[in-house]
Amino acid sequence: MKLQELASALLITHIHGDINTEITGIEADSRKIKQGDLFLCIPGLTADGHDYAPKALALGASALVTERVLDLPIPQLVVKDARYAMAALSAHFYGYPSKELKMIGITGTNGKTTSTYLLEKIIADQGFTTGLMGNIHIKIGDTYIENKATNTQEALELQRILRQMADSGTQYVIMEVSSHGLDMGRVKGIQFRSGIFTNLTQDHLDYHKTMDAYAAAKGLLFSRLGNGFSADADSRQYAILNADDEASHTFQKLTAAQVITYGIENECDVRASQIRMSANGTEFELKSFAGDARFHTKLVGKFNVYNALGAIAAALAEGFPLEAIRASLESIAFVDGRMEVVNEGQDYLVLVDYAHTPDGLEKALSTVREFAEGRVITVFGCGGDRDRTKRPIMGKVAARYSDFLYVTSDNPRTENPDAILADIEPGLKEVEYPVHQYVLQADRKKAIQKAIEEAGPKDVILIAGKGHETYQDIMGVKHDFDDRLVAKAAIRGRTQ
């Protein structure tokens, strides 16, 4: 594609140099530049892409997108906002792939990954080719790629993946949309058919600063939906909102899409009642605009009823039969790293779960508390270089629901692990339970081993925070680490 043609995706640009320069690819990271690529100079939070333009030029970049003219012998497309240009140019370069796909975006503090998996299964069972994007995997056709980078990719990467999906025959894409992704404009240029809101509770205040700003970022998914009414069901857009979460009132006002509400407590369109929970699954009665049914899912916890309801509502909006939706949901055993049982035949229960927010931890632990016949032993920590204010809150939650606690490292990233534990500890002390005891053990492997040594018959160990992750990030180095494997080895070690 010629530089001039690419520039036509934006109204206000200024081209310095040859407008007929051929562009063979787009890249925003100088380390990945190939001959003929257009290099986008993005001013970021830690680096400024403009500083890497000489490196991109040296590696064979054919042109630059900049916010100011650089004194370099290379054609430049000067734009007002390089990040916006990244979204617009990438969508243009890849031929607006989201228009060829039915895109369903899921946002919320907790439950996004779980909900994407549930909905993807329902849609795939209907015979459609599905794509999935989230922080476990990216699924393109039958290929699964581990997602080692961010949750919601940069606009450029997103458009590239969506093009691959469209070209390989994908019909529906179910995608996790993070608040960072919305706030940083990574999903600008994506046309969503439906948006699902799971819930809003505290997280990411390091980035958003206030809960209002965090909510506003999530709201962007819904404010962009529904501005074209249509009698054609295929063109309609839906905002699927949790009736039991306050933030839904605001999102309802923001959207022009048809709103479908789901929930348990409040009156809504897709509602669960008569919920029965056990360690083996959850049953509920569903009442919906498309009929009623009793569901027997293998998913553990009331929070998973909410995730199921969001997926059911989205599937009903697509016109799928309730009976088929029920059958699909009932066939799912668990979602990778979410309330996943580690079973080596031991007489205590070990669960690995991805709870890494105060609400997630509360939901996971209150669920465990409900069915635990013995003690609840918790292993958890908090990630480094992330919201510090959630640490004592998570400490308090963990202490409230646990009989015994091992407070340990999650991904310390560039922080000192002991400093993170010190941030958690005041929360532990806020709970005056005579029985609860805690140990600070920064070494996660040792903490898991100790918890397993400590367990007696019928006790339940919840290892929280890392779920499906197969690494531990210490000072920017990703070391192999999988809670499930560490727990398995410890259980086997103990029984030998």
Ligand X SMILES: CC(=O)N[C@H]1[C@@H](OP(=O)(O)OP(=O)(O)OC[C@H]2O[C@@H](n3ccc(=O)[nH]c3=O)[C@H](O)[C@@H]2O)O[C@H](CO)[C@@H](O)[C@@H]1O[C@H](C)C(=O)N[C@@H](C)C(=O)N[C@H](CCC(=O)O)C(=O)O
Ligand Y SMILES: N[C@H](CCC[C@H](N)C(=O)O)C(=O)O
- Going by the annotation, the residues of the binding site are 30, 108-114, 178, 186, 386, 410-413, 465, 469
Q: Does 470 bind ligand X (CB under 6 A)?
A: no
Binders in 17-56 for ligand X, by CB under 6 A: 28-31, 42, 44-47, 49, 52
**CB 316 → ligand Y: shortest distance, Å?**
29
Contacting Mg ion (CB under 5 A), which of 76, 109, 113, 328?
113
> How far is 465 from 452, CA to CA, in rounded Å?
17
- Binding-site residues for ATP sit at 108-114
Q: Does 413 bind ligand X (CB under 6 A)?
A: no
Decide whether 176 or 473 has the Cβ nearer to ligand ATP: 176
Contacting ligand ATP (CB under 6 A), which of 25, 49, 219, 360?
360
Options 110-118, 360-368, 397-405, 462-470: segment touching ligand Y (CB under 6 A): 462-470
Q: Does 262 bind ligand ATP (CB under 6 A)?
A: no
Interaction mask 195-234, ligand ATP, x per CB under 6 A: ---xx-----------------------------------
Decide whether 42 or 133 has the Cβ nearer to Mg ion: 133
Q: How far is CA 135 from the centre of its chain?
A: 5
Interaction mask 403-442, ligand Y, x per CB under 6 A: -------xx-------------------------------
Q: Does 73 bind ligand X (CB under 6 A)?
A: no
Contacting ligand ATP (CB under 6 A), which of 37, 120, 154, 176?
176
Among ligand X, ligand ATP, Mg ion, none, residue 353 binds (CB under 5-8 Å by kind): ligand ATP
Q: Does 465 bind ligand Y (CB under 6 A)?
A: yes
Contacting ligand ATP (CB under 6 A), which of 197, 306, 404, 438?
306
Q: Is 451 exposed, middle or buried (0-12, 13-18, 19+ CB in 10 A)?
A: buried
Look at the alpha carbons of 342, 345, 350, 351 in this order and tell me if their dihedral is positive or negative. positive
Interaction mask 146-175, ligand Y, x per CB under 6 A: -----x------------------------
Phi-psi region of 57 (alpha: psi -120 to 50; beta: other; left: phi over 0): alpha
And the tokens for 51?
């500083």
Options 60-68, 276-284, 355-363, 396-404: segment touching ligand ATP (CB under 6 A): 355-363
Binders in 342-381 for ligand Y, by CB under 6 A: 356
Residue 432, strand partner residues:
none
Decide whether 42 or 405 has the Cβ nearer to ligand X: 42
> How far is 44 from 41, CA to CA, in rounded Å?
9
**Spatial CB neighbours of 400, under 8 Å, sequence gap ≥ 6:** 365, 431, 433
> How far is 334 from 366, CA to CA, in rounded Å?
18
Decide whether 181 or 337 has the Cβ nearer to ligand X: 181
**How many CA atoms within 13 Å lie on the side-chain side of 84?**
11
And the tokens for 249?
């009132």
Binders in 129-148 for Mg ion, by CB under 5 A: 135
* Sheet architecture: strand order including 14-16: 14-16, 76-78, 63-66, 37-40, 25-27
> How far is 413 from 427, CA to CA, in rounded Å?
22
> How far is 38 from 76, CA to CA, in rounded Å?
9
**Residue closest to ligand X (Cβ):** 44
Among Mg ion, ligand X, ligand ATP, none, residue 306 binds (CB under 5-8 Å by kind): ligand ATP
AA letter at 402: S
- At which residue do the structure tokens 């509770």 appear? 201
**CB 9 → ligand ATP: shortest distance, Å?**
30
> How far is 187 from 214, CA to CA, in rounded Å?
16
Q: Does 466 bind ligand Y (CB under 6 A)?
A: yes
Nearest CA to 433 among 397, 462, 392? 397
Q: Does 151 bind ligand ATP (CB under 6 A)?
A: yes
Among ligand X, ligand ATP, ligand Y, none, residue 255 binds (CB under 5-8 Å by kind): none
**CB 109 → ligand Y: shortest distance, Å?**
10
And the tokens for 327?
């059958």
Options 66-74, 137-145, 174-182, 402-410: segment touching ligand X (CB under 6 A): 174-182
Residues 115/198, Cβ–Cβ less than 8 Å: yes
DSSP 400-459: HH-SEEEE--S--BTS-HHHHHHHHHHHHHT---SS-EEEE---HHHHHHHHHHH--TT-
Residues 62/24, Cβ–Cβ less than 8 Å: yes
And the tokens for 125?
């069972």
Q: 331 phi and psi, to 5 degrees? A: -85, -5
CA distances to 11, 152, 158, 204, 277 from 181, rounded to whole Å, are 24, 5, 11, 12, 34
Which residues make up the interface to ligand ATP (CB under 6 A)?
108, 110-114, 135, 151, 176, 198-199, 303, 306-307, 338, 353-355, 359-360, 363-364, 467
Which residues make up the interface to ligand X (CB under 6 A)?
28-31, 42, 44-47, 49, 52, 135, 150-152, 154, 178, 180-181, 207
